[in-house]
């Protein structure tokens, strides 16, 4: 038994080294330019990156969490998790490499989850599938919170799967701690945190008294981790919230609805909404005590405009907000940008919403498709992951394993549905750990000899 355990550990370590190597290699052109000093961090920045990187830089240089160096405006648009991660990383002078390392380290909780779900073979293949996932490796070096979120969500999933197997309160609470840490990294995890005491506790824990204790402790742990930051935001005038990004989200969602209604693209509608908001606040800036109050008022305006649009166009809202299958598209654009073969900001997302994936692919590749062949192995691995995950859901449905299906709904379906009309491939990253574990379970079952004689083994036969 110990030899098998050691073999599993050594194989997982090899997968980790492989994952780290391909993440660095697939971003090497940008990394080389960065190390040679030809360019600054711009190669790894995306439109959202400034809201994380500049506050982190300000904290390093001034000790204050503000929008940027020289600004007195408090940083409230994002929660603190990834910002303080960057603060630690900036001292090491290489955030892209650390991002690759963190994403490669994610294969360890993924492997452990697969092992708990269906044995060591499942854990090994789950790690391989994550290592080869195009979206994960393309986003690893970027200055964005998604890779760190995926790392924390992977540990969250592992501890809840282990809590299901062991019924230990300590495992359940560790899962809650990682869920709260993930929420402090990106608020998209907040609904998962709310489901822990009311869905996961009664489903995973037995007997009911232990489930009740787990639910209460989960609420206390979550509150202890989240409330201090919310109080900080309230003290600087931003309200008792995790972040103040709701207005920007409402802007993007409203633009998506109006683009569908008017037959235009999201960029056009977003520009029109921004002009409408500017006109609404023209000459009224003196009414607000400071820039933060003005920003909060603008957020409220965008939220009100969003609600109005929902009521006016419920059909278009449903069509753009309910599960969007295109969220599953691999992140080929960032992969090619890291290699220096393409540039960003081409309006591909607008083409995707309007004309579909093939038109978006042709628009982004701009007539030259040779570069896409570099991603072929990773695209194939991503397709295999999706097929095996679907097969795993079918197997568990047939066998009526409702606990695993509940975990799938919470840790996969929710993350895929949460972005709504904002079809950024990186938003699928927190769904990958459990999806890879489930896919690994299917491979494990298919690889078992004399499977029919071992049907009673719950671990080998999901």
pLDDT along the chain (462 residues), means of 10: 82 95 89 69 84 90 86 87 90 83 96 92 94 94 94 97 94 96 95 94 92 95 95 88 86 87 81 86 72 82 90 87 83 84 63 65 62 83 94 90 94 91 89 96 70 47 42
CB 161 within 8 A of CB 440: no
**Whole-number pLDDT of residue 456:** 45
CB 411 within 8 A of CB 192: yes
**Whole-number pLDDT of residue 364:** 61
5 CB burial (10 A radius; 0-12, 13-18, 19+): exposed
**Whole-number pLDDT of residue 451:** 44
74 φ, ψ (degrees, to nearest 5): -65, 145
CB 172 within 8 A of CB 160: yes
Count CB neighbours of 183 within 10 A: 26
Residue written as tokens 């896919």?
439
Taking the C-alpha atoms of residue 422 and residue 48, their distance in angstroms, rounded to an integer, is: 13
**Whole-number pLDDT of residue 349:** 64
């Amino acid at each position: 038994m110990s030899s098998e355990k050691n073999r599993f550990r050594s194989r997982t370590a090899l997968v980790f080294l492989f994952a780290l190597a391909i993440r660095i290699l697939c971003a090497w052109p940008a990394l080389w330019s960065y190390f040679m000093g030809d360019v600054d961090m711009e190669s790894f920045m995306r439109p959202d990156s400034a809201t994380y990187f500049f506050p982190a830089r300000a904290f390093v240089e001034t000790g204050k969490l503000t929008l940027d160096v020289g600004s007195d405006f408090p940083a409230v648009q994002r929660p603190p998790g990834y910002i303080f991660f960057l603060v630690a990383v900036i001292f090491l002078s290489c955030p892209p490499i650390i991002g690759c390392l963190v994403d490669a380290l994610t294969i360890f909780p993924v492997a452990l989850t697969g092992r708990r779900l269906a044995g060591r073979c499942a854990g090994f293949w789950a790690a391989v599938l994550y290592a080869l996932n195009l979206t994960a490796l393309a986003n690893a070096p970027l200055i964005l919170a998604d890779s760190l979120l995926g790392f924390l969500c992977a540990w969250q999933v592992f501890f809840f799967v282990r809590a299901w197997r062991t019924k230990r309160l300590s495992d359940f609470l560790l899962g809650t701690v990682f869920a709260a840490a993930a929420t402090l990294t990106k608020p998209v995890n907040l609904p998962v945190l709310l489901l822990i005491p009311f869905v996961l506790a009664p489903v995973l824990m037995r007997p009911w008294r232990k489930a009740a204790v787990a639910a209460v402790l989960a609420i206390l742990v979550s509150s202890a981790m989240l409330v201090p930051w919310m109080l900080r935001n309230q003290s600087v005038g931003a309200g008792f919230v995790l972040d103040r990004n709701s207005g920007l989200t409402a802007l993007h969602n409203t633009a998506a609805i109006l683009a569908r209604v008017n037959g235009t693209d999201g960029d056009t509608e977003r520009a029109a909404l921004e002009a409408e908001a500017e006109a609404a606040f023209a000459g009224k800036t003196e009414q607000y005590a400071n820039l933060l109050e003005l920003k909060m008022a603008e957020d409220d305006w965008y939220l009100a405009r969003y609600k109005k649009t929902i009521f006016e166009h419920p059909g278009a809202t449903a069509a753009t907000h309910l599960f969007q299958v295109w969220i599953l598209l691999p992140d080929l654009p960032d992969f090619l940008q890291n290699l220096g073969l393409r540039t960003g900001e081409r309006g591909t997302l607008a083409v995707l919403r309007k004309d579909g994936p093939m038109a978006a692919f042709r628009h982004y590749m701009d007539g030259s498709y040779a570069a896409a062949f570099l991603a072929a192995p990773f695209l194939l691995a991503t397709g295999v992951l999706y097929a095996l995950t679907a097969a795993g859901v079918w197997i568990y449905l047939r066998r009526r394993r409702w606990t695993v299906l509940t975990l799938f709904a919470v840790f996969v379906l929710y993350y895929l549905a949460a972005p709504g009309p904002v079809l950024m491939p990186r938003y699928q990253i927190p769904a990958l750990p459990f999806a890879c574990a489930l896919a690994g379970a299917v491979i494990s079952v298919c690889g078992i000899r004399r499977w029919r004689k071992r049907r009673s083994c719950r671990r080998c036969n999901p």
